[in-house]
Amino acid sequence: MSAQGIQHALQADFIRDVRAGLGKSGQKELPSSYLYDEIGAALFEAITLLPEYGLTRADARLLELHAAELARRLPVSLVVAELGSGSGRKTRWILEALAGRRPLDYYPIDISRPALVKCRGELGRIPGVTLIEMEHSYLDGLDAVVAERQSGQSVLFLFLGSTIGNFDQAGAVDFLRQVRARLEPGDALLLGTDLVKPVDQLLAAYNDATGVTAAFNLNILARINRELGGEFALADFEHRAIYNHGKRRIEMHLRSKCRQQARIRDAGLTVRLEEGETIWTESSHKFRLEDVNAMAQGAGFGPTIQWTDEEWPFAESLLMAS
Ligand code: AVI
């Protein structure tokens, strides 16, 4: 498909999802993937620097600390593919350790061209690493990577940063199952998961004092205004992040401060909201180690090796395809 064709299809998906999520009665919602246009991605980068948000630093710490062991546990003839193009630093530890054994190809997979360009800027000059961008959805990208593997080569997939926590529970296992279906014995998936921790710590991380997470959340409405001719008055909404104890997840919402309605021209939709009604924009699940193991088993992976961070409970799990 041409670049223009891809843009057109993405716009059609956005309209469909906005209609489905905001046009329904009951809890209104938007898929969290729409938080990440170029502005949203930049705001997320800022979140990762916040003192309250220790997740990304824990992920990076673990990868720096255990990259050499990871390399020892994996076949030498290897290609690496990353779901989401990663924010440079943490992936660098892995690539340097692996390429220290034998040169390798690294495929960042992302639907966003700007994210891939940024990734090339950050990881494009590591000795022994050839970076090949994959402008695809995750599963299409995985298909393309395994189609190019040479005989005798193993594949390491990276799914870092606890992005798996943004899936619903059934969706996470289903997604891992689909990844597993593309792997052969000797291949592996390195999965980052944020672990359960004191609720105060979590609430602070998603309600930061600087208001960056609030801006990140509100940007989803600003994006609808920019891209679909929406008329949301952002000042009439406020960011809410709550912890759902039963589901062990942070939920991000946009709460309407008043009774209001907003037209979205390109979706042919008028959204009506009562005062206090919310639009649910993201879930961020927090895991116990046994949850990660159960997900891995449910998806058909073999033995799992885990490393955890004590300062900010987080786990890196190497799921082997056996
Ligand atoms: C990308 N993802 C793992 C982040 C998270 O913590 O769930 C997104 C995020 N949302 C608010 N702050 C960060």
> Cα(2) to centroid of ligand 1, in Å?
31
pLDDT, tens digit, 9 for 90 and up, residues 105-152: 999 999 888 889 999 999 999 999 999 999 988 999 999 999 999 999
Got the DSSP string for 308-320? EETTTTEEEEEEE
The conformational region for residue 46 under phi > 0 = left, psi -120 to 50 = alpha, else beta, is alpha
Rg (CA), the chain: 20
| Residue 163 Cβ < 6 Å to ligand 1 | yes
Residue 156: which H helix or E strand, with range?
Answer: strand 154-159
Q: Is 205 in the pocket of ligand 1 (CB under 6 A)?
A: no
How do residues 11-49 score in pLDDT, each as one tens digit? Answer: 999 999 999 999 999 999 999 999 999 999 999 999 999
Give the H/E segment covering residue 297. Answer: helix 289-298
8 Å CB contact between 232 and 262: yes
Question: What are the residue ranges of helices labelled H in 86-152?
Answer: 89-99, 113-123, 138-148
Model's pTM, two decimal places?
0.95
Question: Are the C-beta atoms of residues 53 and 209 closer than 8 Å to each other?
Answer: no
Q: Which atom of ligand 1 is nearest to the CA of 55?
A: 6
Residue 279 has pLDDT above 70, yes or no: yes
Check if 161 has its Cβ closer than 6 Å to any atom of ligand 1. yes
Ligand 1 pocket member 162 (CB < 6 A): yes
- The reply to whether ligand 1 has any atom less than 6 angstroms from the CB of 32 is no
Name the band, by pLDDT with cuts 50, 70 and 90, for residue 85: confident
